Amino acid sequence: MQRRQFLAGTAGVAFLSSSRAAEPGVGDAEIVFGNTGILSGPLGGQIKIMLAGAELAFAEARAAGGIHGRTPRIVSLDDELKPDRAVANVEKLLGEHKVFGFFGCVGSATTAATAKVLQQSGAPAFGGYAVADSAREKVKGSAYFLRATSGREAQVLVQHLTTIGVTRIAAAVLDNPGGQEARALLEAALQQHQLKPQAVAAVKGDGSNVADAAKALSEGEPQAVIMYLGGALPGELMKATWALDRHPMFYGMSIVAGEVTAKVAGERARGLAISQVVPYPWGEVEPVVRDYRRLVEKANVPLGYYSFEGYLNALVLLEALRRTGRDLTRPKLHATLRSLKMRLAGMDVDFGAGSHTGSRFVELVQVTREGRFVR
């Protein structure tokens, strides 16, 4: 009798162990998350910095014994911002690498393309980067985003300009679906103030039509130009506009890299204002910001908005894992994220009320001639 009870007990333990082990990506000491994004070329460099910022937080958690004994590990695959590659990567990460969820995935079209696979897998995705508002809607229920929406950025920029008396506003956007959506969002923000854009220019990713774009914008005689452009394009557009002896104010959405723009446009780039969706990384007041700078210096990671955004995304994910508990499952993490509220680095984070975007934080900073940011 005792032997039967013993066998029944060990069978129960074995069943419990296999049940826990069946949850993909969850081990005794780590939780495996997948990442698909562009990891090559100029844009890839920015994404690597973002992921390096996240690793600062993960490494710190690991050194402290982990969250309930575990810390995230990220497996990254390059999709070159191609939707079909992104879908293949997500399937490979789920099937071959057995990831628990996804972290820091990049791009609008790529994110939208993976919506069906994410939904079918039940895997949570957190902290997507450069994902347009429409793509966020397609992965709603599967993915959660920390940074404010592009629509929120557009509203803040237009509100600022109209407050200081600027009403003749033009837009320069990328000649791709993301740029088309940014144009629509800017037009909607202007409409709230009974305004229309003075001119709109779509700039090709290779910069081949920058001169034509500058001419089209200048013909509208705008007081200010809002840019949704990446890489060197903002600086090239500014130079082409000045060459026409036109001198509007230039504003950028957070996709604009101030450091790169300053290198391309030179000291005349000073005064460029950019909307940022995470707090100022050089602040002295918030303990989280001071911790970030200490870790950046120690790990030799570039200090700036890219790495700080990755760091903050990682902190929020770690807090969600802590609140979920040791018995970690995909449905339980989803439940935690759907109700998560916290304050981080002076930024309110709230995923309640069915929101899949946790923050509305947007502030404007200016770029100096050295490419630094000042409030």
How would you write the pLDDT of the chain (375 residues) with one tens digit per residue?
444 443 344 444 433 433 344 589 999 999 999 999 999 887 788 899 999 999 999 999 999 999 999 999 999 999 999 999 999 999 999 999 999 999 999 999 999 999 999 999 999 999 999 899 999 999 999 999 999 999 999 999 999 999 999 999 999 999 988 899 999 999 999 999 999 999 999 999 889 999 999 999 999 999 999 999 988 999 999 999 999 999 999 999 998 988 889 999 998 888 899 999 999 999 999 999 999 999 999 999 999 999 999 999 999 999 999 999 999 999 999 999 999 999 999 999 999 888 999 999 999 999 887 778 888
Length of the chain, in residues: 375
Q: What integer pLDDT is reported at residue 41 of this predicted model?
A: 81
Q: Which of 362, 344, 343, 345 is nearest to 285 (CA)?
A: 345
Fold classification of 150-276 (topology level): Rossmann fold (3.40.50)
290: tokens are: 């001071």
Q: What integer pLDDT is reported at residue 9 of this predicted model?
A: 43
Q: What integer pLDDT is reported at residue 10 of this predicted model?
A: 42
71: tokens are: 């810390």
Separation between Cα atoms, residue 365 and residue 259, nearest integer Å = 12
Domain spanning 11-146+284-356: which CATH class is it, in words? alpha beta
Separation between Cα atoms, residue 189 and residue 194, nearest integer Å = 9
- Single-letter residue type at 219: E
Pure H helices in the chain:
2-21, 41-63, 83-95, 108-113, 115-121, 133-138, 150-163, 177-191, 210-219, 233-243, 258-265, 287-299, 305-324, 330-338
* Torsion sign, CA atoms 94, 99, 101, 104: negative
* 302: CB partners within 8 A, 6+ apart: 49, 52, 296
Q: Dihedral through CA 85, CA 89, CA 95, CA 101, nearest 10?
A: -140
Which residues make up the CATH 3.40.50.2300 domain(s) of the chain? 11-146+284-356, 150-276
Q: What integer pLDDT is reported at residue 22 of this predicted model?
A: 59
Q: Which of 287, 339, 280 is nearest to 315 (CA)?
A: 287
